[in-house]
Each structure stands twice: as structure tokens, then as C-alpha cells.
Amino acid sequence: MKRRLWLVALMCLTPMVLAPHATAMDGAEYVALGDSGAATTGVQHLDTGAPLICARTTANTPKLIAQDLGLRLDDRTCSSAKIKDLTSSQGAGVAPQFDALGPNTRLVTVHIGANDTNISRHILTCHTGGAQPCGDPAWDRDIDAIADTYSAALHRISELAPNARIIVDGWPLYVRDGGCPELVGLRPADAATVQRAFDRLNTVVAAGAAANRATYVDTRAGSVGHDMCAPEGVRWFDPILATETLVPYHPTPAGMRGIADIIMAAIRAN
């Protein structure tokens, strides 16, 4: 039972509305696409006006960027989203995320792909494997397998929003070398395995961005010292013993702000 509840929490990959949903003909000024890494801080700042399945927050990175830039946002991020949900409905009341794009769109941020790699299952294995190492070769294959689909999605964004700047943000530092007690069940050697998987995912999406006139923003370097083993209030992601969001491996409010600041610096640099 505990294993099942833990998995549900991990897979759950807010009333402020900055703009109404755009029509397919024009597009919102700023469109945010993505999964729970961009959508939610768990129980913190939950947007009760958003689809429940999305667990979207009023203080996520897209909303902070919209505030900083003074742009009208259509936030389509949704927890547990996969690449296919960009073009199809994820569930009742959740339209395809691409529906918000159009010629009037000036900025698109994209954070998606982890759920397509079976990341929750692989991470759970690492935390519950006991003496068995978690370096499953299938994890690398699952990550590499999203390359073509991810690249095609970015290409389609450029077609639907030809006047937009497309920003792809990567995955920050989740696990420091050696791990920590808050990452229950994760052996020190396996901490590096988990982080290498996120780094490999960054390599895949960065290549997709480079091939499709998108800007890849590295969030890993700026997140050093803010991993899940950092103190509460400093860490950007909650560990297994989650105290802020109640959702392990997901952003805290400080994490959303930190990632927004890194993306804003990249936008302002160009």
C-alpha cells in the first residue's frame, strides 16, 4: 500500500488568470506548454480554477515569467502530461496544449518529456531496490527513444507559432552525489544514476531545440546547492520526505522562482 501511494505521489507529475484561452486562429501572447515540472508545486498555491487533473499552481514558473515580462499568458501546463498531450486531450476538460498557439504568439516555453521516459517507474525502482543497483540499461533507451517525437513537437510549434520565440528549459540538479537520508531507500551509488538520467534527458532535449530554432536554457548549473538534499526553503525540489509540496521530485515554490529567474536571464540576454 505504501509503495502504491508513493508511486501515485511521484506520478502526479492555480485564482489568478492572466489571459483567457486563445483561439486556434490567433494564439495567446505567451503560451506555456509542459508537464508537472512546469505546472505544479503540489499542495502549495493550488489553482482551484484549473482542471483538477493538471494540479496547476498560481505560482509556477510560467506565471512568474509572464508577470516579469508583462505578457498575457495561456498556461496549458498539466501534471502527468506526455508529448502526445500537446496534440490531443489529456482528459476531460483539458484541451490539446497546442490549441493555444497561433501567429500572435510571441513566446512559448516548453518543459515536457520526462513522463515519456517512464521516469517514475525507474526512479521508484531506485528507491525500492534494496541491495540491487538501479542502473537499468532500459532507462537510457527510454530516454533516447523520445528524441524524434520531441524534435517533431518543437518543429510543429514553430509552424503553429511562426512569430514566437521558443524556450526549452532543461531539468535542474535533483540529486547531489551520495544522496541524503531524505531520499529514503536511495543508495549513495544510485544517487548518481538518478541524476545521470536527468542529465541524459537534458542532452536529448537540447539537441531537439538546436535542430528546431528553439533556445535551450540550462537550469542545472544554476541549481547547484538547491537539490533535494538542501534544507527546506533552499531546495528547489521536494525529496521523498516531502515537507513543502507533498509531491516528491517536484518543484517547491522556491524552485519555480529559481527556474523562472534562469529563464528570464536567458530571455533578457537576447
- Residues with catalytic annotation? 36, 250
Burial class (CB in 10 A: 0-12, 13-18, 19+), 148: exposed
Torsion of CA 137, 140, 146, 147, to 10 degrees: -130
Greatest C-alpha distance within the chain? 56
Q: Residue 51's Cα: distance from chain center in Å?
A: 17
Q: How far apart are CA 225 and CA 223, in angstroms?
A: 6
The rounded radius of gyration (Å) of the Cα atoms in the chain is 17
Task: Give the E-state strand segments of the chain in sequence order.
Answer: 30-34, 73-75, 107-111, 165-169, 215-217
Residue 101 grid cell: 498557439
Residue found by looking up cell 486562429 in the block:
25
Residue type, position 120, single letter: S
Closest to 181 (Cα-Cα) out of 173, 193, 191: 191
Backbone φ and ψ for 237, nearest 5 degrees, come out as: -140, 140
Helices and strands: H and E segment counts in the chain: 8, 5
